[in-house]
Amino acid sequence: MWPFTKAQLTAGLRRYFGDSSLQVTAIHEQPLPHPANSLAPSDVRGARVEYVAGSMLGGRYRGRTMTIDCLVKEPGGKLRVGLAGNGLREVGVYRSLASQLPVQMPALIAADNAGSWLVLESVLPELDPAAWSAADYERAIRTLASIHERFWGLSDDLAVYPWLARPLATDFEVYVLSAVGAMEKMVVDNRPALITGSLEVLTGLGQMLTQAELLAERLRAVPATLLHGDFQPSNIYLQEDETIVFNWQLAGVGPGVLDLVTFVNACCWKQAEAQAKPPLPPEALLELYRAEIRTRVGVAWSDDEWAELLDHALMWRFIQDMLSWVANLPPDDFPHYEARFRDIWLRPVLDAANRRLRPVLYL
């Protein structure tokens, strides 16, 4: 069962090919080859569409049945009350911002205006992210810097797109309240023990939540840009002559360092999962982005400023995403992720809180 009608898909393909005679004759489910099937298995399906057209290329294909492979997305996931839907954001990016981005994106063929479904051109990667080289990681960082450069300091211009996330502005309280609720849930459930069984951990996380405004103030001082929101290797196709970036469901406005922390920690997570040695250490990726921004937009952070900014970005990303993720993870699943969560997120976050936040005073 497809979420769209044949008429809706026909209209989209007519626009895509620029051929008003096109008629869709059949739609078949198409298995997604690796690694595409690992990107978002819960909300992405492959579709092979059969169609006929009378005027394509001067009628050369008149009467001949042709096919096109597409990706059908039905963005799901539990949404926080008060935030725009993920699908709405992605449709908005494709329709309003794709032409302004300095990267390639799959073509949007058809979509529901509310973002409940999208049909995209099927673009399959030539290289599995697990096989990325050091040069591929550097290319991804430069791609991220180019996106941020294009919209650097343009938060007022991006205000015309109300569907973009604004984690440090209009959405700030939503994320903080969600994180507080996640902590309360973990305490009531008394799990995971990694968090609820340690006074040190509970104190450190309490520091962050009670001083979330302090974190936000430091990050708001950085010029805002367009954020991808989930910039990581599984959302990037590196081809010989172009870089394709997709899955813009979490697109927003904020300091680019938030995307950088997301990318670096996602890389560390995948490498730890595969028990593989990273082709580049995280420090090299962070410094490359810092150098790219200095060259592209003229912002030069001192070593102390850069270290402080990274600490605040790490803590905010933990509040924004990771607390809710842990709280809602099925109990039997957590042991599988515990070591990675502890080493890549929890310990570094607690260290950052000790360095940057005011001590909690107990009376």
What pLDDT is stored for residue 116 in this prediction? Answer: 94
How far apart CA 226 and CA 156 sit, in angstroms, is 11
User: 23: which strand partners?
Assistant: 52
What pLDDT is stored for residue 64 in this prediction? Answer: 84
What pLDDT is stored for residue 74 in this prediction? Answer: 92
What pLDDT is stored for residue 218 in this prediction? Answer: 96
Ordered domains of the chain (ranges, CATH): 21-121 (no CATH), 129-356 (3.90.1200.10)
State phi, psi for 130 to the nearest 5 degrees. -65, -20
Spatial contact of 54 and 78, defined as CB atoms under 8 Å apart: no
Place of tokens 């990726």: 285
Please give the sequence-ordered ranges of beta strands (E in DSSP) within the chain, or none if there are none: 23-30, 44-52, 66-73, 108-111, 118-121, 225-227, 236-238, 243-245, 252-254
- CA 117, 121, 122, 124 torsion-angle sign: negative
Place of tokens 């309280």: 173
Nearest to 75 by CA among 65, 63, 84: 84
Please give the sequence-ordered ranges of beta strands (E in DSSP) within 229-291, or none if there are none: 236-238, 243-245, 252-254
What pLDDT is stored for residue 344 in this prediction? Answer: 97
What pLDDT is stored for residue 363 in this prediction? Answer: 40
Nearest to 104 by CA among 251, 249, 244, 248: 244
Spatial contact of 86 and 74, defined as CB atoms under 8 Å apart: no
* R_g (Cα) of the chain, nearest Å: 22
pTM attached to this predicted model? 0.92
User: 238: which strand partners?
Assistant: 243
How far apart CA 17 and CA 10 sit, in angstroms, is 11
Helices 303-317 & 257-273 angle (0-180, nearest 10) = 70
What pLDDT is stored for residue 351 in this prediction? Answer: 98
Query: Residue 63, Cα to own-chain centre: how many angstroms?
Result: 42
> Could you list the mean pLDDT of each consecutive 10-residue stretch along the chain, which spans 363 residues?
95 94 94 54 84 70 84 75 79 96 95 94 72 93 98 97 96 96 97 96 96 96 97 89 90 98 95 87 97 98 98 98 96 96 98 90 48
